[in-house]
Amino acid sequence: MAKVVRITEDDLYFDNDKKLSSTHERECCEMHYLSFEDLTLEDFEGLEFDLESNFFERIEDYGIALLPIVGHPVRIPGYGWNNGYYSSQLDLVLLDTHNEIIKAFDVSECQDIEDNS
């Protein structure tokens, strides 16, 4: 079980030295990401997550919801923009202390995409 102990604009850090982030191989004229910046530690107060099991659910055209073992889900929005030419691929990644990917999940459908074409 893991608790969130730190939040940055791009990452959630857990007390078991794991980190949750999103990744996208960016080209020019586009961006796709999960936004952690509006979350606070209070949003995660009293919540524990089993990062080895089903710890999130996809919310099409919005983002994801982190699912604690007990308690309320915490929603994380996903955003994207491009000109329609580039990929909208977006992955949720669980990383270890060396920033090596432990698990990656395709969450491409879990973002509000603005078409700039």
Q: What is the pLDDT of residue 84?
A: 60
Tell me the pTM.
Answer: 0.84
Q: In the predicted model, what is the mean pLDDT of the chain? A: 87
Domain count of the fold of the chain: 1
AA letter at 99: N
pLDDT digits (tens, 9 = 90+) for 47-68: 999 999 989 999 998 999 999 9
Q: What is the pLDDT of residue 29?
A: 63
pLDDT digits (tens, 9 = 90+) for 67-95: 999 999 999 998 887 666 566 678 899 99
CB–CB of 96/83 below 8 Å? no
Angle at 54 (CA atoms; ends 42, 26), nearest 5 degrees:
80
Full residue range of the structural domain in which residue 88 is found: 4-115
- Identify which has the larger pLDDT, 73 or 111: 73
User: Using CA atoms, how far apart are residues 32 and 79, in angstroms rounded to an integer?
Assistant: 6
